[in-house]
Amino acid sequence: MRTATTVEGTGGEWREISDFVVEAEKLGLDMCWVAEAWGSDAPSPLGYLAARTDTIVLGSGIIQLATRSPVTIAQTAMTLAQLSNGRFRLGLGASGPQVIEGLHGVSFARPLRRMRETIEIVRQVMSGAKVSYRGSEFAIPLPDGQGRPMRVSLAPVEVPIYLATLSPKMLELTGEVADGWLGTSFVPEGAQDAYFTHLDTGLARSGRTRSDLDICQGAEVNIVPDESELPRVIGSRKLELAFSLAAMGTATTNFYNAAYSRQGWSEVAAEVHERWHSGDRAGAAALISDEMVLATTLIGTREMVRDRLSVWQSAGVNTVRLYPAGDTLAARLDNLAQGIELIDTLPSA
């Protein structure tokens, strides 16, 4: 399995984040994704990281649909591919109505259709062709306008496209048109029904198999010296998981909650959601069991984490995104180094 991580800026800590990525490259990390939620954008730091690194693959994890036009997304991808000497991967995601409508003031409607059309336009732009497109969401050039089809002045380039998707129809689209899947909320024991069945449907639609899609899955890695440390580490993670189940979306639309529900925790997910939105955040976190935390993370002793990584590998994960825990740069790098080392000890699939 390949190794990856994700970084995100929410304040003025980019110097430390970039130092982390530089050191991660020295450790042999294969990929680094830069997140874009409601903090920093992704492309700006990616350009900076391209200048500070030499071998690590860099990706947008993710650029949000509806925040930029498809042509702007393509221009960004082509520029970053040039700046990184071909090391860039374009990660796209629909995000959710809270961010898209609540922060950007753009309708979240029809994300599936917008995703498909965006990818078609992006690939047309990157091919070097004049851009001419008529869809239900986008029309280029503008109909009845004064413009004619144009091509961008950048050299054509092929940039692999990864999609961050959770819902069944979006997963089918990922299998059909993408080069990779940026997954989350992953429980390998429930992944076949929750994720892979839908990915495989899309792959079959385009005449491909699982081997044609990079399954890039992420989780927190926190390696403890012995099991006596587990209660403390697990306890600190429960509020974060409750936040995903209840607050990563709106009161009526939460793709993370739906994903966990499809993997065997529908009753808990529903109750966590209810308590959180009633104002009882502590009560919501208390509903999260130790089993849920350990099933969805890479927390434990070295032996426990290695065994868990083996399960991930058997489930079909190609690339592991490690989110190293730690209050300091040194602590995060230590967790990352141990995670990379454990993955390197696994037999080839």
The residues that bridge with 322 in the sheet, in sequence order, are 219
Residues 233, 224: contact at Cβ < 8 Å?
Answer: yes
Say what the pLDDT of residue 239 is: 83
| Segments of the chain with pLDDT less than 50 | none
Residues 112, 137: contact at Cβ < 8 Å?
Answer: no
- What is the H or E stretch that residue 245 is in? helix 230-246
Residue type, 129: A
Burial class (CB in 10 A: 0-12, 13-18, 19+), 329: middle
- Taking the CA of residue 6 as centre, how many other CA atoms within 13 Å lie in the half-sphere pointing to its CB? 23
Structure tokens at 117: 């059309």
Burial class (CB in 10 A: 0-12, 13-18, 19+), 25: middle
CA separation for the pair 69, 57 (Å, rounded): 25
Residues 176, 203: contact at Cβ < 8 Å?
Answer: yes
Residues 67, 59: contact at Cβ < 8 Å?
Answer: no
Say what the pLDDT of residue 349 is: 63
Structure tokens at 206: 């385009």
- Taking the CA of residue 261 as centre, how many other CA atoms within 13 Å lie in the half-sphere pointing to its CB? 17
Say what the pLDDT of residue 203 is: 98
The residue behind tokens 């290695």 is 306
CA separation for the pair 98, 317 (Å, rounded): 30
- What is the H or E stretch that residue 147 is in? none
**pTM (2 d.p.):** 0.92
Say what the pLDDT of residue 249 is: 66
Residue 42 Cα distances to 8, 34, 47, 91, 239, angstroms: 8, 6, 9, 10, 26
* Closest by CA position to 119, among listed 204, 79, 62, 166: 62
CA separation for the pair 267, 275 (Å, rounded): 12
